[in-house]
């Protein structure tokens, strides 16, 4: 029998250009709080309940990337309301929900894509 790995996700790191906007957005979007005060363009946002993984915001100087290989899926019982709420916080819809799909693709204030996934089947 193979032993289970002792690894777990400690933090998901999001690189960005506009550090302050990204900290405000992800804090409000997830209800997370800084674990410690931000220093030099770095902060770890933590779930106050202790259940979710940390989300770290890191200011970079490498410039905006055109393609991404990682994104966050946020699960919601009412995706339509969450998309509206996240849009009011500064997200923008990159791709609306398509027929047969259960998600909308949004961009955070720095343009990083993430999805809001409907977790409960709703009547059409």
CATH number of 9-61: 3.30.720.120
Q: What is the CA radius of gyration of the chain?
A: 16
Q: Domain 71-124: what homologous superfamily?
A: 2,3-Dihydroxybiphenyl 1,2-Dioxygenase, domain 1 (3.10.180.10)
How does pLDDT run across 30-61, given as a tens digit for each residue? 999 999 999 999 999 999 999 999 999 999 88
**Residue range(s) in the chain whose domain bears CATH number 3.10.180.10:** 71-124
Q: What is the end-to-end Cα distance of the chain in Å, rounded?
A: 46
List every span in the chain annotated with CATH 3.30.720.120. Answer: 9-61
Residue 3 pLDDT > 90, yes or no? no
pLDDT in tens, 75-106: 999 999 999 999 999 999 999 999 999 999 99
What's the rounded Cα separation, in Å, for the pair 13 and 110? 14
| pTM score | 0.81
């Amino acid at each position: 029998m193979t032993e289970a790995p002792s690894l777990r996700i400690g933090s998901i790191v999001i690189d960005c250009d506009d550090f302050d906007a990204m900290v405000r957005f992800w804090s409000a979007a997830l209800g997370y709080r800084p674990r410690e005060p931000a220093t030099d363009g770095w902060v770890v946002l933590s779930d106050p309940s202790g259940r979710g993984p940390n989300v770290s915001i890191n200011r970079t100087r490498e410039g905006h990337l055109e393609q991404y290989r990682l994104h966050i899926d946020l699960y919601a019982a009412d995706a339509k309301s969450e998309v509206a709420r996240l849009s009011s916080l500064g997200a923008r819809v990159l791709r609306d929900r398509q027929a047969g799909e259960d998600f909308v693709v949004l961009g955070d204030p720095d343009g990083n894509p993430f999805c809001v996934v409907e977790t409960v089947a709703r009547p059409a």
